[in-house]
Amino acid sequence: MRDHEVFRRPHKLDVKTTEQRLAPSSWTHYGVGKSIDGVAIGTDREAGWCTLGDSLDLPDTEILCGGRNSKGPHYAAVWRQGNLLHFGFQSRPDQMTAFGKELLVNCIHYIARFRENSPLVESSNSYDPAWIRPRFIADRLVRQTWTAKSIPTLFDAGVLQHFDPDRADAFRAWYRANRGFLMPSARDTKKLALDADLKAFGMGCDDPGILAALVKALETGGEGEARARRLLQHLVHRPLAKGSAPAAWRSWLDRVGKALFFSDHGGFRWYVDPLALRRGVASADLRGPARASLPSDAARAEIGPVRAELRRTTADESGAFDLEVRVTLREGWHIYALNVPAGSDRTATALQVEKPATWQWQGEWRAPAAKASEEHAGVGEYSGTVVFRRRLARPVGSPAGPVKVTLSYGACDAKMCRPPESLVLRIAR
């Protein structure tokens, strides 16, 4: 967490010089010692606000800074959800240390970059009668601090049939085996109940493959179709209309599949991440700073089934940054790896860069491993989205200048290959 950019820019904060403070008594059952180290933020003793760190299961939420509090070490003092910043150190600037003031400035500087990120999900808290209990609370209590008194507050009567205070390990094993089948009870959403449809289907509510399996069950038909329809209506936030044809569900899943994420706090539902859908990338790849708005000098280009985007990451203290070329291919299309065997008739992907002469490369282009071609021995293929990265340094005092990247490739699908093509991307600096 100390490596996060809110501690580095625009003010570089000293996070190594810390002081010892007595750990709150509530931290002891989490295995924390008698003292903790930290940096003073404020000069007053006024209570602030924290939020439960491990309860934030949303792609647009990140913890920026912990803090000494009366709840526990997993609670956060500074965090972000979408374009909202929570700065829990409840002090006026004249009650803050120099470190605290500069941290606040850095956090404001950071949150200003999230211009496309309204919060994805609204969730209440345990004081709301309609609150839905997320499973992380049961995870922690079952694993660590359970008592015969606390367990009945977490589960409904059907689950408690498996609970014997004298056989703790047996219940832990049952919980691990059935965790994915637990959903909020229809009678009391603060308690978890075993969902009969999920149990019969055999896949957990948050299993990455469950929606594809449910759509497949619709297409197959038969006695499992009704259950699949119930689960799709129950698990998908804003599902298609009841009775929608299997082809409609397949089309929906093909369109949004990579952009889906699951959230206990969103009501045990699968949601579509609109930013991921807009950028044509997986929601799982958009975490933390990756969700920030693209810089104004980002460049995009598209020809046929291939779309490319060029951007640069924020430079570190030495002036080094990554050039990122993100290539997204239409479904069914692929391009080839950066290297193909000599004599192959496949077109290797190539990246040519024009940059200021004083800027220096730090290493070669980096890319994920390519999938082996089924038709061409020794040839690798990329489909979906692939990101090429290369480290570049602008020495202190060297002039700014445009960067031009020419991406050359050959795009093919199952029926044809397009002639070799190139996309040209330019950023101003």
- The answer to whether residue 32 scores a pLDDT higher than 90 is no
Mapped onto helix, strand or coil, the DSSP state of residue 390 is strand
Residues 90, 151 within the same domain: no
pLDDT-derived band at 295, boundaries 50, 70, 90: low
Domain boundary among 148, 164, 194: 194
- The answer to whether residue 251 scores a pLDDT higher than 80 is yes
Residues 33, 74 within the same domain: yes
Residue 388 is predicted with a pLDDT of 96
pTM: 0.69
Residue 204 is predicted with a pLDDT of 98
Read off the CATH number of the domain in which 302 is found: 2.60.40.1250
User: What is the rounded distance in angstroms from the CA atom of residue 38 to the CA atom of residue 105?
Assistant: 19
pLDDT tens readout for residues 271-292: 999 888 877 788 998 889 888 8
Q: Which domain holds residue 400?
A: 294-427
Domain boundary among 194, 214, 239: 194
Which tokens is 188 given? 């009391």
Q: What angle do CA 326, 328, 334 make, to 5 degrees?
A: 120
User: What is the rounded distance in angstroms from the CA atom of residue 130 to the CA atom of residue 147?
Assistant: 25
User: What is the rounded distance in angstroms from the CA atom of residue 132 to the CA atom of residue 190?
Assistant: 5
Q: Give a yes or no: residue 121 inside a domain.
A: no
Phi and psi, residue 240, nearest 5°? -65, 165
pLDDT tens readout for residues 157-166: 999 999 888 8
Domain boundary among 272, 306, 335: 272
- The answer to whether residue 401 scores a pLDDT higher than 90 is no
User: What is the rounded distance in angstroms from the CA atom of residue 386 to the CA atom of residue 376?
Assistant: 20
Query: Measuring CA to CA, which residue among 89, 115, 83, 114 is closest to residue 102?
Result: 89
Q: Give a yes or no: residue 382 inside a domain.
A: yes
Q: Give a yes or no: residue 288 inside a domain.
A: no
Residues 322, 338 within the same domain: yes
pLDDT-derived band at 148, boundaries 50, 70, 90: low
Residues 415, 307 within the same domain: yes
Q: Give a yes or no: residue 289 inside a domain.
A: no
Q: Give a yes or no: residue 125 inside a domain.
A: no
Contacts of 7 (CB under 8 A, 6+ apart): 13, 15, 103, 106
Contacts of 131 (CB under 8 A, 6+ apart): 124, 125, 189, 190
Strands 75-81 and 51-52: antiparallel
Residues 268, 300 within the same domain: no
Q: Which amino acid, residue 300?
A: R
**For residues 238 and 31, which has the higher predicted lDDT (pLDDT)?**
238
Residues 183, 202 within the same domain: no
Q: Give a yes or no: residue 287 inside a domain.
A: no
Residue 118 is predicted with a pLDDT of 83
Contacts of 81 (CB under 8 A, 6+ apart): 56, 58, 60, 61, 119
pLDDT tens readout for residues 316-348: 767 788 899 999 999 999 999 999 999 899 999
Overall number of domains in the chain: 4
Residue 146 is predicted with a pLDDT of 61
User: What is the torsional sign of CA 26, 30, 34, 38?
Assistant: negative
Residues 104, 89 within the same domain: yes
Q: Give a yes or no: residue 379 inside a domain.
A: yes
Residues 180, 207 within the same domain: no
Residues 161, 206 within the same domain: no
Residue 142 is predicted with a pLDDT of 78
pLDDT tens readout for residues 173-227: 999 999 999 999 988 888 999 999 999 999 999 999 999 999 999 999 999 999 9
Residues 349, 240 within the same domain: no
Residues 190, 202 within the same domain: no
Q: Give a yes or no: residue 204 inside a domain.
A: yes
pLDDT-derived band at 5, boundaries 50, 70, 90: confident
Residues 70, 19 within the same domain: yes
Contacts of 208 (CB under 8 A, 6+ apart): none
- The answer to whether residue 45 scores a pLDDT higher than 70 is no
Please state, rounded to an integer, the average pLDDT across all residues of the chain.
Answer: 87
